[in-house]
Amino acid sequence: MNIAIAIDGPAGAGKSTIAKLAAKSLGFIYVDTGALYRTIGLCAYRNNICSKDVDAIIKMLEDMKVELAFNENHEQIVLLNGEDVSSLIRTPEISMYASDVSAIPRVRAFLLDLQRNMAKTNNIIMDGRDIGTVVLPDAKIKIFLTASAKVRAKRRYDELIEKGMDVKFEDVLSDVETRDYNDSHREVAPLKPADDSIIVDTSDLDLEQSVEKLLSIMKERM
């Protein structure tokens, strides 16, 4: 039987960086489910479809294919109709599109099997918003990773600046707050800790300490 570890939490809590390192240390596959919603957001953006136009987005799903694959370094890549869009989905604009489309029940249903199938065939650490509550409710370990909005915005701001993007801290903070609100107030699969999840706040932890903390929780429970 494969082992599944769910890591949920708000944007910028460090889920992907921390989960990736933890997965490497355990020899598990790491799956970032946000990339799937981002890919649907990118597809809408490219087709000039407003991210709040539910009917048009649902129609768009009929002709789109989203796949996950892994490169030679075991890193996840996401394919939109066969094209590797892994880097193209990492812009602030697409973040907002992703947040909007992720509130559409049909979009969530569209991605459900893909996510569950990954867990059927691999030992996996899967990160998202609803992994412990909806996608993998039987996950062996569920962690809800969080940090204050300011700390999360500062981390994201530093990342974007490092990539050479011209952004203001206030805008990044406001994006984080808007996405938090959207993600936790939508009707389907809102962002919330599963009843049986362990809540880890990384506001006062650096990357190394966060990874250590997660690994110690995981090893204790496996």
Residue 179 contacts ligand DC per CB under 6 A: yes
Name the residue nearer to ligand DC (CB basis): 191 or 205.
Answer: 191
Least CB distance to ligand DC at residue 11 (A): 4
Residue 107 contacts ligand DC per CB under 6 A: no
Distance CA 38, CA 35 (A): 5
Q: Which helix (H) or strand (E) holds 36?
A: helix 34-46
Least CB distance to ligand DC at residue 129 (A): 4
Residue 128 contacts ligand DC per CB under 6 A: yes
Distance CA 83, CA 85 (A): 6
Region binding ligand DC by CB under 6 A among candidate stretches 33-41, 50-58, 137-145, 198-206: 33-41
Least CB distance to ligand DC at residue 82 (A): 21
The dihedrals phi and psi of 80, each to the nearest 5 degrees, come to: -110, 115
Q: Which of 99, 146, 197, 202 binds ligand DC (CB under 6 A)?
A: 99
Name the residue nearer to ligand DC (CB basis): 70 or 216.
Answer: 70
Least CB distance to ligand DC at residue 177 (A): 12
Distance CA 83, CA 205 (A): 37
Q: Give 70-92 as a DSSP string.
A: E-TTS-EEEEETTEE-TTTT-SH
Distance CA 139, CA 142 (A): 6
Least CB distance to ligand DC at residue 26 (A): 21
Whether the Cβ atoms of residue 16 and residue 128 lie closer than 8 Å to each other: no
Residues that bind ligand DC (CB under 6 A): 11, 33-34, 37-38, 95, 98-99, 102, 128-130, 179, 183
